[in-house]
């Protein structure tokens, strides 16, 4: 299964994932830090003020201009990237056992590929990559590391995991470091309210949160005919799916996705809707480039735009 990610990883070679804002204090890395330090990359001069370290004085400039300036440099820091992956039963839709070989991947496969792709891009930036995978069997935690093999371990873990049960992602979000970059990969059919609320708290604390909303193509285009639709996570929810009901369904589902996008962005997080039949390298590039945030800004931050 690991080899199935090969084309995706090849397509993402050379892609970097810069932090969208200055990060907090951390080990030296590739991202601009909010810390001013003594790195060799000069940024600007500032007049010496009482209390500044005299060692930061630019003595040559003082000798030429007889004025005391302090040499300022921006620190570069690492951004720990945590992948928060939803492995609930709803992510296993559609069931691959009854799907044709030519059918698009289901939501879990799409989420797994996105996690591997984003992890690869983050790892290429020398950022430590960790994962928290919520499933019916509990939370699978992969500690954030920068060493080689981290992505392979992530891929193997995702491949061996089976979706099941109904899970809550909000408690897992609180387990990530406050200033980390967190990518939530989910279909948002679980604890959306709690997750958005926690996201708002984390972003206020300096975290960078990205939401990748995975939507199955079969959820957007319902099958024809009459069915008794049941929610796999809540089997007591049974509704009649018939052709005349699809219009109202689509209206409600569109409204749900638009509301989710608006709420995520209002919470200071990025939001990207990904369809299962989308080209994943393009999706990853869009996420890491912050295109979804810019698109949302141009669109007024209201609607959900699906990436295909």
Partner 1 sequence: MIAFALPWLFALGVAASLGVVALHFLSVRQPPELLLPTARFLDEGQVRALSRSARPSDVLLLILRVLALLLVCAALAGPRWASGSRSTMRLVVADVAMRADSAALLSLVDFSGSGGAVRFVWSGASTDSGRVGAAATGMPRGIRIDLTAALPMALRAAASVATELPDVDSLSLYVVTPPPMQVNADSWRAWRATWPGAVHVRSMPTASRAGGTDSLPQSRAQLRFDTTGVDARVDDPVRAALAMRTADISQSITVQRADVERESIPPPGPAPDVTILWPVSGVPRGWRAVSDTSSALVANGVASVAAWPRSAMPTEGLLRDARAIAWWGDGLPAAIEVRKGASCVREVGVAVAASSDLLLDANATGFMTALLAPCGDMASGSGVLAERLDSGRGAAAYAARFRAEEASHLWSLPRWLTPVLLALALLVLLAEWLLRDREVART
Residues that bind partner 1 (CB under 8 A): 89-90, 93, 95, 187, 189, 216, 219, 222-223, 225-234, 237-242, 245, 248-249, 252-253, 256
Closer to partner 1 at the Cβ: 114 or 182?
114
The answer to whether residues 283 and 114 touch, using CB atoms and an 8 Å cutoff, is yes
Closer to partner 1 at the Cβ: 90 or 123?
90
Residue in the block written with tokens 């024809």? 224
Query: What is the C-alpha separation between 222 and 52, in angstroms, rounded?
Result: 66
Q: How far is the CB of 87 from partner 1 (least distance, A)?
A: 13
The answer to whether residues 268 and 200 touch, using CB atoms and an 8 Å cutoff, is yes
Closer to partner 1 at the Cβ: 41 or 251?
251
Per 3-state DSSP, the chain is made up of helix, strand and coil in percentages (nearest 5) of 40, 30, 35
Closer to partner 1 at the Cβ: 161 or 241?
241
Q: How far is the CB of 260 from partner 1 (least distance, A)?
A: 12
Q: How far is the CB of 101 from partner 1 (least distance, A)?
A: 20
Residue in the block written with tokens 């079969």? 218
Query: What is the C-alpha separation between 285 and 274, in angstroms, rounded?
Result: 12
Closer to partner 1 at the Cβ: 205 or 226?
226
Q: How far is the CB of 96 from partner 1 (least distance, A)?
A: 12
CA dihedral 31, 115, 5, 124 (to 10 degrees): 10
| Category of 77 on φ-ψ map: left (φ > 0), alpha (ψ -120 to 50) or beta | beta
Q: How far is the CB of 191 from partner 1 (least distance, A)?
A: 14
Q: How far is the CB of 231 from partner 1 (least distance, A)?
A: 5
Closer to partner 1 at the Cβ: 210 or 219?
219
Query: What is the C-alpha separation between 52 and 64, in angstroms, rounded?
Result: 20
Exposed / middle / buried, residue 66 (Cβ in 10 Å: 0-12, 13-18, 19+): exposed
């Amino acid at each position: 299964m690991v080899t199935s990610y090969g084309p995706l990883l090849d397509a993402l070679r050379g892609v970097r994932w810069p932090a969208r804002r200055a990060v907090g204090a951390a080990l030296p890395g590739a991202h601009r830090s909010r810390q001013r330090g003594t790195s060799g990359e000069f940024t600007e001069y500032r007049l010496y003020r009482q209390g500044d370290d005299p060692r930061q004085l630019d003595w040559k400039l003082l000798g030429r201009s007889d004025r005391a300036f302090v040499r300022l440099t921006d620190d570069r820091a690492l951004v720990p990237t945590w992948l928060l992956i939803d492995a609930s039963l709803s992510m296993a839709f559609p069931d691959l056992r009854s799907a044709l070989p030519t059918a698009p991947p289901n939501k879990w496969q799409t989420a797994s590929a996105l996690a591997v792709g984003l992890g690869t891009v983050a790892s290429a930036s020398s950022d430590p990559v960790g994962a928290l995978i919520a499933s019916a069997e509990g939370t699978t935690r992969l500690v954030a590391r920068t060493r080689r093999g981290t992505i392979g371990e992530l891929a193997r873990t995702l491949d061996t995991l089976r979706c099941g049960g109904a899970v809550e992602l909000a408690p897992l979000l609180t387990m990530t470091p406050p200033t980390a970059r967190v990518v939530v990969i989910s279909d948002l059919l679980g604890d959306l309210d709690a997750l958005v609320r926690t996201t708002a708290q984390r972003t206020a604390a300096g975290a960078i949160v990205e939401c990748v909303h995975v939507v199955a193509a079969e959820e957007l285009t319902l099958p024809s005919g009459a069915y008794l639709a049941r929610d796999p996570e809540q089997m007591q929810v049974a509704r009649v799916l018939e052709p005349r009901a699809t219009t109202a369904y689509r209206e409600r589902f569109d409204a749900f996705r638009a509301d989710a996008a608006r709420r995520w962005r209002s919470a200071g997080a990025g939001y990207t809707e990904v369809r299962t039949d989308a080209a994943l390298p393009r999706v990853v590039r869009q996420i890491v480039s912050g295109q979804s945030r810019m698109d949302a800004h141009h669109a007024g931050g209201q609607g959900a735009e699906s990436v295909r």
